[in-house]
Structure 1
Amino acid sequence: MSDNIYQFSATRNDGTEQSLQEYQNKVVLIVNTASKCGFTPQYEGLQKIYQQYQQYGLEVLAFPCDQFGHQEPGDDGEIAQFCSLNFNTQFPLFKKIEVNGDNAHPLYQYLKSHAKGLLGSQRIKWNFTKFLINRQGEVVKRYAPTAKPESLVLDIKKQLG
């Protein structure tokens, strides 16, 4: 099995299963999100860079998670409605998952092992941790929750070529 994100699939917010192979040859930004977090306004920045760079091959994948301060209490329908109404998000939104612990989604187990955090930690520290994936499906870089989406543009453009 190849060592990239294409070996995984995830359930979309509407319940459909999606293979990440569909993102081959794309630059992908994967983010664990939450609706009631101090970083929630980053949805706006994520939508902005998605709109600017999607035509060049960028995809943003949002994975809601309720493991940090119970900041994503809603069900999948409520989360989709919140993102649409408040930020007009158009990038793919997935079903709520866990990113840490025994029930962490296999994609997140992979991401954390390929791009460690501060001091070599694999744990996701908070909502809006971001992973940049190149066109070969490999993890290029991990960004802290405090990194605003706009601050990733240079790295994204470099991957887009």
Structure 2
Amino acid sequence: MEVENIILSDTVEPLTTGLGYNCSPCDIDWVQRAASCYLLSEKEKTWQESRDTCAAMSDSLVKTDTQEELVQSHLQSVPETRDLQAGRIRHGQQHFFRFWTGLNHDNDIRNWAWADGSAFSFQLFQVPGAAGCVYMQEGDIHMQSCTKWEVNICKKPARFGSN
């Protein structure tokens, strides 16, 4: 009986200490909104560097498919939003900042496209310009040179029913 208790204790301990199994639909430091997880970068980067950083984590720069997602997911009122200027975290406050989206003008196809290669629908919003990369600030869409430095938000699907 004592051996069984030790085995049971060894099995339960990782579950109660948070080690071992991850039951969260998002990784640590990621924020869940609906069926997606979002990660705000800590450093400013060019659009290409931002895209590569997200791709290295098997996700992509933030992309929106609907007006609802545009409003709800991208106006970041994250419970722990990083205050990038001061290098600290603001808890429970709404903090707006400029961030790259996955939308850029693809010179190969001579049209706007998302970083994942999917086509952009102008029914979602109008892009103010004819070339460059798109960033958002306070819910507004802006375009600028892709070589400028901004923070970025990576996006990936939330996990449900698996670790």
Same-fold call, TM > 0.5?
no
Scaled by the length of structure 1, what TM-score is found? 0.28
Q: Which has the higher helix share?
A: 1
Name the structure with the higher strand share: 2
Rg larger in 1 or in 2? 2
TM-score, normalised relative to structure 2:
0.28
